[in-house]
Chains A and B, each alone.
Chain A
Amino acid sequence: MIDHKHQDIDAATGTATTGHEWDGIKELNTPLPKWWLYVLYATMIWSVGYWILYPAIPLPSGATRGILGWSMRSAVTQDLAELRADRAPMVNELNKSTLQQIASDPKLAEFARAYGHSAFGVNCAPCHGANGQGSKGYPNLTADRWLWGGTLDQISATITHGARYGDPDGHQGDMPAWGSQGLSKQQIDDVANYVYSLSNKTTDDVSAGKKVFADNCTPCHGADAKGNPDMGAPNLTTKIWLYGGDKDDLIQTITYGRGGHMPAWGAKLDPATIKALTVYVHSLGGGQ
């Protein structure tokens, strides 16, 4: 405690010291600047306003609610309502219009692409890539090859119902695992060579593989190996591969089968967002 009656005053500054001394050095007990102190007191008084206006003081039966009646949850609900009201004119247009009308109306299509782009970033980009470029196992949406069809209606159906994700209207059907379903290692090797030859120049004799293909693969991939979007069977004559196109990849695919999953977004996203996503994906480069 400072002994005010016997304060030790520093001669040079006229300020009291704390009374301690370290090898002849004393610590000044300089008071806080007045302006600083008054600002501190002002903030204390200011805080009383908050106690009155906002939820503040915890009581046994719950905190005081404040005369503004503010709550974080009602505030965010209001924020979202304002956001929806801002978007309402265009979103209502999306709801009213068919996909074809949206795509052919420049103003509406521009809105749908922007709206779809942001929904794509949140929901689709983790698998299909930030620009829809896809990655191994996740289809590239910018190319003009489509597993399940690339018209507006087909894209919309794929987004809404997904693929192999429990939705009965979703795309079903896997590529079977031929390694455990009747093909020998030699046959798989042959047919992989044949499929490889469809999109690559090769001098190998692929007639054995061609026969295996004709006997087993044509129901889905077609006699010309150009695929069938109704079954999600890819065209094997292009150089576009979902699971890799070198011979090891092909042997892996044929032996163990394939069947990727896409969530059914109809349960998570509202119809306007799905329409916007459809138009956005359709506009990425490959829309039919």
Chain B
Amino acid sequence: MSLWNKHAIFEKNSIILSVGILIVVAIGGLVEIGPLFYLKNTIETVGGVRPYTPLELEGRDIYVREGCYLCHSQMIRALRDEVERYGHYSLAAESKYDHPFQWGSKRTGPDIARIGGKYSDDWHRAHLNNPRAVVPDSVMPRYGFLADSPLDYRHVREKMKVLRVEGVPYTDEDIAQADADIKAQSSPDDTAAVDALDKRYPKAVAHAALGGAATPTEQDALVAYLQMLGTTVDFKLYDEKANWR
């Protein structure tokens, strides 16, 4: 049994232990993570997924900034109770333009992968201002201050350029039109601008900014983001069997 006693080498030399751990973790990482980068079935074949509009992108950054992901996941697992409650299970393709993704399974609040269009803009505003006004037993903090903060989107073009490096297919035109698209998406009455936005980002929905203001607030951006979650894929056209692994 002398072989079984060799572990004492690792237990008594921290450097050898570290190297050993590194080798074991590296093998696990290479075998489990490596194939995901070239296997086709990592990301399903599905129509409709599009990059975020500039306003949604800014809303998403506020979502991340405020730590919404600490309580809300955006991943409906392939389990009966979750599919019954939240809708079709999430596809990897649906978050392929998310950097970083917002998956999770810890749900202090409900999953919001398919919240888009489920409730009205007014509901989202009332709920962000004071969650208990509409859901009496909610434990969510108030985010009313977002309605008082004008959206600072000076850096939206740089953000889009960085995302393009990460693989999000923003075109030069998308980036050049970012400011115009933000204005268009927060003023639904300007139909020509909204049509132009819709051409670049299919199924984008324009939301009236709070009080018809000229500059959208952070709340407007967040609501625009929430209202598009899970709305891009048409599951009637999705071939479930072809995408099983």
Chain A residues with a Cβ under 8 A of chain B: 1-2, 4, 55, 58-63, 71-77, 79-80, 83, 122-123, 125-127, 129-130, 135-138, 165, 260-263, 268
Contacts and interface: CB of A to CB of B under 8 A. Distances in A.
Interface size range of chain B in the complex: 35 or more
A174 to B, nearest CB: 12
A88 to B, nearest CB: 15
Contacts of B5: 1-2, 4
A80 B80 contact: yes
A270 B125 CA distance: 28
A4 B31 contact: no
A288 B241 CA distance: 46
Chain A's interface: helix, strand, loop or mixed, by majority? loop
A76 B79 contact: yes
Interface stretch (B54-62, B64-72, B81-89, B145-153): B81-89
B118 A123 contact: yes
Interface centre among B35, B78, B126 (most CB of A within 10 A): B78
Interface in B1-39: 2, 5-6, 8-9, 12, 31-32, 34-35, 39
A30 to B, nearest CB: 14
Interface of B: 2, 5-6, 8-9, 12, 31-32, 34-35, 39, 41, 78-80, 83-85, 89, 117-123, 126-127, 133-136, 240-241, 243-245
28 contacts: A2-B5, A4-B2, A55-B245, A58-B32, A59-B35, A60-B35, A61-B39, A62-B35, A63-B35, A73-B89, A73-B243, A73-B244, A73-B245, A74-B244, A76-B79, A79-B80, A80-B84, A83-B80, A83-B84, A126-B127, A126-B135, A129-B136, A130-B136, A137-B126, A138-B123, A260-B122, A263-B118, A268-B117
Given A137-B122, A261-B122, A126 B134 contact: yes
A127 B245 contact: no
A126 B31 CA distance: 44
